[in-house]
């Protein structure tokens, strides 16, 4: 079974560079306090690292 991560948007993407906005959209995060359960892959980790100052990450139960 693959590991899962719960990613929650805690800061807005407004006034952020366009690449960060596209990364948030790629993660499925469009509104504040919206959470998504994502597979823990190197690609997902890279996207999370790029917007780490905007999101909260925790292991999914």
pLDDT tens for residues 3-61?
999 999 999 999 999 999 999 999 999 999 999 999 999 999 999 999 999 999 999 97
Report, at the CATH architecture level, how domain 4-59 is classified: 2-Layer Sandwich (3.30)
Single pTM value for the model: 0.92
Task: From 57, 47, 58, 56, select the one nearest 21 (Cα to Cα).
Answer: 47
Q: How far apart are CA 8 and CA 27, in angstroms?
A: 10
Tell how many helices (H) and how many strands (E) occur in the chain.
Answer: 2, 3
pLDDT at position 1 is 62
The three-state secondary structure class of 19 is helix
| Gap between the Cα atoms of 18 and 60, Å rounded | 28
Q: Where are the domains of the chain?
A: 4-59
């Amino acid at each position: 079974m693959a590991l899962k991560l719960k990613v929650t948007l805690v800061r807005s993407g407004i006034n952020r560079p366009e690449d960060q906005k596209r990364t948030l959209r790629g993660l499925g995060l469009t509104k504040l306090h919206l959470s998504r359960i994502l597979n823990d892959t190197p690609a997902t980790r890279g996207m999370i690292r790029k917007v780490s100052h905007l999101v909260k990450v925790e292991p999914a139960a």
